[in-house]
């Protein structure tokens, strides 16, 4: 038995960040407190903090600089939403019912340069849910309690974080560290954040380098810029690529570099950002971080671990003679079970250990030898989760091997998929990741990469082999545990090389590079036994283009055939693949006669390299191809049939897979109910063997009042033909779980759903994935009355709306909404369903500047660029209004030019506000989270009965022989302005229950009327969501599938009408 010491080590204040890549986060850039003195220490206060919530635990990490030396002071989140006015910053943010102020114990500790490393986990708060902090002020105090620093918590618009640490191999005096955020802007790549531990009062360079690692100096390379152009990463460039440190060695960075981007043209995602010393040592690299990387560089460097962590002036408790002793006791096989309680330390408050290094030592007489190390809390950050490697001949050889590899992190594994051609026929040999960072020369490739592991895992026993077929083609798929290899964290493979061997030598080499592309792993088309395989990558380097590239094998030799993106969202069933995906009313571009032609050309071995750019499509905005089926056909000479299929975006990744859909009238339904609604479903990526689970939200109008009925996911992939909708979808389950799923409506016939269901997922290509299938709503009697297709959210956001904070009017009340926000090629689209509105009115519908609906003080006014005209008005183009039916339901659809989700004028995580007719703010919501528990209000009073239709005139020139016309007047006023315009409308009463489409330039809203259903048509442009084209019978000449709006079901509508008997399916 051995005794081994283990201790908490200081880690040089370079702590790993606590960030979940799949959740929203916010950044706070700390500056001077308003009206604070600008002399002495106070003038130097700065810092960068990242804020995220996991459940009801708020996590804050980052750095503060310019503070007193070796001192302790407080930092807190305050109630205010500004750092501009002392009077509006407010006090500590907590509720009176809390037992005590939780911020009283939150403090920082500075080092000898006045820098503090922040790592906090605090229960009871969130970013935008319970006790929301988004938009509020973080205030920094000095040791005497004086407020000296302030910064707003602003949700990030998909910035990628860079954790800066020691440059590999640097052994000088500087302890550089920091946190930077890199984001795309209209002007170029923007880098902002904090560096500390630099030389004092110095000017030094910081640059993006060509390499993809900070783990090994050999892989960092030189400045990253386009060959043949002038290096912009110089102090003489405009703007100069330099930092300017203060007297304490801290620098606040803000640099915009044109001609670069995160992941499209001249992409920097995954590359190294390097800081240098000042002249005359400007060539010395002192700090490094991977853009979107994980672990702090230098943490894996022994020089960055330092000694035991304990309070200065006290006795070191991390010793074998302490009580309790800080040791382990191993058994005869070298294993130890650890259980130790150490007083005087905490996870994230007093003497916080979160993010510090925990180190194990050998036993005496070698007790000083450190043998193991780990960072408490790990180090995931949003960033690189996918990579690609394109195989070419190994340097110095004439081998003909080619290949494409796709690497993705998810499900606790690093997944590697590959397809190879040009191998020796009928051959088996190895493939491995090597330690080198270049395929340019054989001397740079290195040996197998397994630093820190006891044994080399890259062998045949572990499955690192391929077996080629008679044409010399092979496919491979392998999962590596994230405990052993990652893209950017422990044992990072990004930037290293992948090598393929034959029986005697190395024949192929590929550099592992980050990518933002979606991948389709192609296999046999459903219902066939075809042997075509491949990997095709789709990326969108420009707003209106997509590029497809990759490799197909197993094709007929020396032939050409079609490959196309299809409208469907599955490769599991031929019924759901449908035809070519393109805009209805346009010419099909997926043909051999198009320019460019959508064809492959195979070589003599049946392999084809894919390279095609298609205009008019995108990954995530207009005409999105993400999570659609990519299909390869046989050559026309042998029939042209569909023989291979893969779902773009269906390969790997640790994502939340969001979907949405818009409910319309069930095909062929001719009853009195006119259902409308929006729903959303989502599931977190899970391992194939795990039990899946998905959440479901929906807002539905047009149901029977105060009733209950069923809703279910069906097997079909269309809402266009009742014969193809199918029965309940529960393949592989013993019992049908959908028989228990019901809606409960209020007195106006509106319902809200919010629940989670096991055994189903929205993740593509997994068991019981509902992606692309039909959701059906039934009446109380069991008739099918509504239908919508489950469509990928593809980068969009779902916003759930509840009552505005402080709203107290008796009528209307209990309103709810679900709105989908999506990027388009010329702006942003908001579409969804609102219920519980006033009857038959127009009202304002706007995005506001604030990030929270938890406090009216944080919502602010309309969101638009200073100095420009407010577009969120009823007189705007288009008018920012909704139109409600007589039962208080509105289907909204609004496209706003000049805005985006994440880029120019981003609306990401900002508040969506719905106004009453007179302008009062009524509903409010932020992305994905209700602002307060959304309990269903008591059923509203029945709406006023609509006027009886006038008798038809003796003669009519309108052609409406089965209806009656009536004049309807509407007025609208929004906060801060009034609309004194009467809008004439035509109310057409009719019994035709078919799906209606709003004419161009008209706003249409369905209304209930005595004796029938009506439709209001207003001469205002494109507000209501029109029905979109849906796929036809699946032939290759069909248009793209339904472009439907998404809506997320609102949580907490638990006070429903009394349940009634569940209808039959």
pLDDT tens digits along 300-328: 445 445 678 787 778 889 888 989 898 88
Alpha carbons 433 and 497: distance in angstroms, whole number: 6
Report the chain's terminal Cα–Cα distance, integer Å.
66
Among residues 118, 161, 173, the alpha carbon closest in space to that of 489 is found at 161
What are the two backbone dihedrals, phi and then psi, of residue 460, each rounded to the nearest 5 degrees? -65, -30
Is residue 77 predicted with pLDDT exceeding 70? yes
pLDDT at 961: 27
Among residues 997, 789, 742, the alpha carbon closest in space to that of 891 is found at 997
- Among the listed ranges 371-375, 394-398, 470-474, 1047-1051, which one has the minimum average pLDDT value? 1047-1051
Q: What is the mean pLDDT of residues 369-380?
A: 60
pLDDT at 345: 80
Is residue 246 predicted with pLDDT exceeding 80? yes
> 713 near 760, Cβ under 8 Å?
yes
Alpha carbons 486 and 491: distance in angstroms, whole number: 6
Sign of dihedral through CA atoms 975, 979, 982, 987?
Answer: negative
Among residues 475, 481, 463, the alpha carbon closest in space to that of 409 is found at 481
Choose between 694 and 371: higher pLDDT. Answer: 694
pLDDT at 817: 96
pLDDT at 220: 95
Confidence at 653, pLDDT banded by 50, 70, 90: low
Q: Which DSSP helix (H) or strand (E) runs through 86?
A: helix 86-89
> 363 near 3, Cβ under 8 Å?
yes
Alpha carbons 649 and 795: distance in angstroms, whole number: 12
What are the two backbone dihedrals, phi and then psi, of residue 882, each rounded to the nearest 5 degrees? -115, 160
Alpha carbons 998 and 324: distance in angstroms, whole number: 75
Among residues 798, 524, 806, the alpha carbon closest in space to that of 679 is found at 798
Question: What SS3 class is residue 318?
Answer: coil
Q: Which DSSP helix (H) or strand (E) runs through 409?
A: strand 402-410
Written as six digits, the tokens of 638 are 């042998």
Written as six digits, the tokens of 947 are 């006027």
pLDDT digits (tens, 9 = 90+) for 15-68: 455 666 556 789 999 999 998 765 444 558 999 999 988 777 889 999 999 999
Choose between 688 and 5: higher pLDDT. Answer: 688
In sequence order, which residues have a C-beta less than 8 Å from that of residue 439 and are 6 or more positions away? 392, 394, 395, 445, 497, 509, 510, 511
> 564 near 713, Cβ under 8 Å?
no
Is residue 636 predicted with pLDDT exceeding 60? yes
Burial of 319 (0-12, 13-18, 19+ CB in 10 A): middle
> 251 near 194, Cβ under 8 Å?
yes
DSSP 733: -
Is residue 856 predicted with pLDDT exceeding 50? yes
Written as six digits, the tokens of 373 are 């190390």
Confidence at 1018, pLDDT banded by 50, 70, 90: very low
According to DSSP, the β-strands at 656-665 and 57-65 are unpaired
Is residue 347 predicted with pLDDT exceeding 70? no
In sequence order, which residues have a C-beta less than 8 Å from that of residue 240 and are 6 or more positions away? 234
Within 10 angstroms of residue 655's Cβ, the number of other Cβ atoms is: 17
Is residue 949 predicted with pLDDT exceeding 60? no
Written as six digits, the tokens of 76 are 């807190």
pLDDT at 335: 72
Among residues 359, 372, 825, the alpha carbon closest in space to that of 622 is found at 825
Within 10 angstroms of residue 990's Cβ, the number of other Cβ atoms is: 16
Question: Peptide bond preceding 280: is omega within 30 degrees of 0, i.e. cis?
Answer: yes
In sequence order, which residues have a C-beta less than 8 Å from that of residue 379 and are 6 or more positions away? 16, 17, 163, 294, 295, 296, 299, 489
Choose between 372 and 551: higher pLDDT. Answer: 551
Among residues 505, 495, 509, 504, the alpha carbon closest in space to that of 393 is found at 509
pLDDT at 21: 56
> 391 near 420, Cβ under 8 Å?
yes
Q: What is the mean pLDDT of residues 531-557?
A: 91
pLDDT more than 70, % of the chain: 80
In sequence order, which residues have a C-beta less than 8 Å from that of residue 792 and are 6 or more positions away? 569, 624, 626, 627, 628, 649, 657, 658, 659, 771
pLDDT at 953: 33
Confidence at 259, pLDDT banded by 50, 70, 90: very high
Within 10 angstroms of residue 4's Cβ, the number of other Cβ atoms is: 21
What are the two backbone dihedrals, phi and then psi, of residue 781, each rounded to the nearest 5 degrees? -90, -5
pLDDT digits (tens, 9 = 90+) for 922-939: 999 987 543 332 333 333
Burial of 787 (0-12, 13-18, 19+ CB in 10 A): buried
Is residue 981 predicted with pLDDT exceeding 60? no
Q: What is the mean pLDDT of residues 896-915?
A: 90
pLDDT at 37: 63
Alpha carbons 1033 and 1039: distance in angstroms, whole number: 10
- Chain-centroid distance of CA 611 in Å reads 27
In sequence order, which residues have a C-beta less than 8 Å from that of residue 436 and are 6 or more positions away? 218, 444, 445, 446, 496, 497
- Can you state the percent helix, strand and coil of the chain, rounding each to 5? 5, 40, 55
Q: What is the mean pLDDT of residues 748-773?
A: 91
Cβ burial 878-905 (10 Å sphere, 16+ → b, else e)? bbbbbbbbbbbbbbbbbbbeebbbbbeb
- Chain-centroid distance of CA 681 in Å reads 15
Alpha carbons 212 and 514: distance in angstroms, whole number: 8
pLDDT at 673: 94
Alpha carbons 526 and 398: distance in angstroms, whole number: 38
pLDDT digits (tens, 9 = 90+) for 139-150: 999 999 999 999
Dihedral, CA of residue 1022, residue 1024, residue 1027 and residue 1029, to nearest 10: 30
**3-state SS track over 457-479:** CCCHHHCCEEECCCCCCEEEEEE
- Among the listed ranges 94-108, 287-301, 352-366, 429-443, which one has the minimum average pLDDT value? 287-301
- Among the listed ranges 70-84, 656-670, 827-841, 1017-1031, which one has the minimum average pLDDT value? 1017-1031
Give the residue carrying structure tokens 């009697």. 781
Confidence at 373, pLDDT banded by 50, 70, 90: low
Q: Which DSSP helix (H) or strand (E) runs through 403?
A: strand 402-410
Give the residue carrying structure tokens 């009216």. 856
pLDDT at 383: 61
pLDDT more than 90, % of the chain: 58
Q: Any long-range contacts for 767-770 (C-beta under 8 Å, 24+ apart)?
A: 767/688, 767/692, 767/732, 768/692, 768/729, 768/730, 768/731, 768/732, 768/733, 769/570, 769/572, 770/659, 770/681, 770/694, 770/713, 770/729
Among residues 544, 536, 517, 542, the alpha carbon closest in space to that of 617 is found at 544
Q: Any long-range contacts for 1000-1008 (C-beta under 8 Å, 24+ apart)?
A: 1003/879, 1003/883, 1004/883, 1005/883, 1005/884, 1005/885, 1005/890, 1005/891, 1006/674, 1006/676, 1006/702, 1006/885, 1006/889, 1006/891, 1007/840, 1007/885, 1007/886, 1007/887, 1007/946, 1008/674, 1008/885, 1008/886, 1008/887, 1008/946
Give the residue carrying structure tokens 């290509």. 765
Question: What SS3 class is residue 889?
Answer: coil
């Amino acid at each position: 038995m051995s005794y081994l010491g283990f201790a908490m080590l200081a880690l040089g204040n370079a702590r790993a960040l606590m960030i979940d890549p799949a959740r929203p986060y916010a950044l706070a850039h700390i500056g001077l407190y308003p009206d604070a003195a600008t002399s002495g220490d106070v003038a130097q206060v700065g810092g960068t903090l990242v804020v995220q919530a996991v459940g009801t635990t708020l996590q804050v990490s980052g750095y503060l600089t310019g503070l007193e030396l070796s001192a302790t002071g407080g930092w807190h989140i305050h109630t205010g939403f500004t750092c501009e006015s002392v009077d509006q910053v407010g006090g500590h943010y907590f509720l009176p019912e809390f037992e005590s102020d939780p911020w009283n114990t939150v403090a920082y500790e500075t080092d000898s340069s006045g820098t503090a490393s922040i790592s906090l986990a605090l229960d009871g708060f969130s970013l935008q849910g319970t006790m929301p902090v988004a938009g509020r002020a973080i205030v920094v105090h000095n040791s005497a309690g004086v407020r000296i620093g302030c910064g707003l918590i602003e949700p990030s618009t998909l910035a990628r974080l860079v954790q800066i640490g020691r440059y590999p191999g640097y052994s000088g005096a500087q302890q550089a560290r920091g946190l930077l955020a890199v984001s795309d802007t209209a002007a170029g790549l923007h880098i902002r954040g904090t560096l500390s531990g630099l030389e004092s009062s110095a000017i030094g360079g910081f640059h993006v380098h060509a390499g993809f690692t900070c783990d090994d100096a050999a892989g960092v390379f030189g400045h990253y810029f386009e060959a043949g152009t002038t290096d912009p990463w110089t102090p003489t460039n405009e703007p100069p690529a330099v930092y300017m440190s203060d007297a304490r060695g801290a620098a606040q960075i803000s640099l915009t570099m044109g001609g670069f981007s995160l992941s499209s043209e001249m992409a920097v995602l995954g590359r190294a950002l390097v800081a240098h010393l000042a002249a005359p040592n400007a060539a010395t690299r002192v700090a490094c971080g991977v853009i979107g990387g994980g672990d702090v560089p230098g943490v894996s460097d022994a020089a960055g671990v330092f000694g035991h962590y304990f309070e200065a002036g006290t006795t070191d408790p991390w010793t074998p003679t302490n009580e309790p002793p800080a040791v382990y006791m191993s058994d005869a096989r070298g294993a130890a079970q650890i259980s130790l309680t150490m007083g005087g330390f905490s996870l994230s408050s007093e003497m916080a250990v979160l993010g510090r290094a925990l180190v194990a030592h050998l036993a005496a007489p070698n007790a000083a030898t450190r043998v193991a190390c780990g960072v408490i809390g790990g180090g995931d950050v949003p960033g690189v989760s996918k990579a690609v490697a394109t195989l070419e001949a190994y340097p110095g050889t004439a081998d003909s091997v080619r290949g494409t590899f796709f690497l993705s992190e998810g499900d606790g594994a690093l997944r590697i998929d590959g397809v190879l051609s040009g191998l020796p026929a009928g051959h088996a040999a190895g493939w491995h990741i090597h330690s080198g960072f270049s395929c340019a020369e054989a001397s740079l490739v290195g040996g197998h990469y397994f630093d820190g592991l006891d044994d080399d895992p890259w062998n045949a026993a572990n499955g690192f082999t391929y077996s080629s077929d008679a044409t010399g083609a092979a496919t491979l798929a392998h999962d590596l545990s994230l405990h052993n290899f990652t893209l950017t964290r422990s044992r990072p493979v990004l930037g290293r090389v992948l090598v393929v061997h034959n029986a005697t030598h190395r024949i192929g080499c590929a550099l592992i590079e980050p990518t933002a592309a979606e991948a389709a792993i192609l296999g046999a088309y459903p219902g066939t036994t075809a042997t075509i395989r491949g990997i095709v990558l789709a990326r969108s380097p420009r707003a209106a283009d997509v590029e497809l590239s990759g490799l197909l094998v197993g094709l007929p030799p020396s032939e050409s055939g079609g490959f196309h993106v299809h409208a469907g969202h599955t490769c599991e069933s031929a019924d759901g693949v449908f035809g070519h995906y393109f805009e209805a009313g346009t010419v099909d571009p997926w043909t051999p006669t198009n320019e460019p032609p959508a064809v492959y050309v195979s070589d003599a071995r049946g392999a084809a390299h894919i390279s095609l750019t298609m205009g008019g499509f995108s990954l995530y905005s207009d005409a999105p191809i993400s999570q659609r089926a990519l299909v390869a056909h046989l050559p026309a000479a042998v029939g042209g049939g569909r023989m291979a299929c893969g779902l773009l975006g269906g390969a790997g990744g640790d994502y939340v897979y969001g979907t949405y859909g818009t409910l319309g009238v069930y095909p062929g339904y001719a009853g009195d109910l006119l259902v409308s609604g929006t729903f959303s479903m989502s599931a977190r990526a899970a391992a194939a063997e795990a039990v899946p689970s998905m959440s479901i939200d929906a807002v539905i109008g047009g149901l029977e009042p105060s009733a209950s009925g069923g809703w279910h996911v069906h097997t079909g992939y269309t809402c266009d033909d009742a014969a193809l909708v199918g029965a309940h979808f529960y393949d592989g389950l013993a019992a049908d779980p959908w028989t228990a799923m019901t809606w409960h409506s209020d007195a106006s016939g509106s319902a809200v759903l919010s629940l989670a269901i096991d055994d189903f997922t929205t993740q593509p290509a997994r068991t019981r994935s509902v992606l692309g299938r039909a959701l059906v709503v039934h009446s109380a009697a069991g008739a099918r009355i509504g239908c919508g297709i489950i469509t990928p959210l593809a980068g969009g956001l779902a916003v759930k709306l509840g009552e505005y904070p402080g709203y107290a009017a008796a009528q209307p009340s209990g309103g709810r909404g679900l709105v989908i926000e999506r990027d388009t090629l010329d702006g942003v689209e908001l579409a969804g369903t609102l219920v519980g509105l006033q009857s038959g009115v127009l009202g304002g519908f706007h995005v506001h500047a604030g990030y929270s609906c938890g406090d009216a003080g944080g919502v602010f006014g309309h969101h638009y660029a200073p100095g420009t005209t407010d577009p969120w008005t009823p007189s705007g183009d288009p008018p920012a209004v909704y139109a409600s039916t007589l039962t208080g339901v509105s289907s909204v659809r609004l496209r706003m030019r000049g805005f985006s989700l994440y880029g120019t004028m981003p609306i990401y995580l900002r508040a969506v506000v719905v106004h009453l007719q007179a302008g009062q703010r009524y509903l409010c919501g932020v992305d994905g989270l209700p602002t307060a528990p959304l309990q269903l209000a008591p059923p509203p009073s029945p709406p006023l009965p609509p006027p009886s239709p006038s008798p038809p005139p003796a003669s009519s020139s309108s052609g409406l022989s089965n209806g009656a016309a009536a004049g309807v007047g509407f007025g609208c006023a929004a906060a801060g302005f009034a609309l004194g315009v009467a809008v004439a409308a035509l109310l057409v009463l009719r019994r035709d229950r078919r799906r209606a489409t709003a004419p161009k330039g008209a706003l249409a809203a369905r209304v209930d009327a005595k004796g029938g259903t009506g439709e209001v048509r207003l001469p205002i442009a494109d507000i209501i969501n029109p029905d979109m084209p849906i796929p036809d019978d699946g032939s290759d000449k069909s248009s793209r599938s339904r472009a439907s709006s998404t809506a997320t079901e609102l949580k907490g509508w638990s006070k429903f009408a009394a349940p009634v008997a569940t209808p039959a399916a």
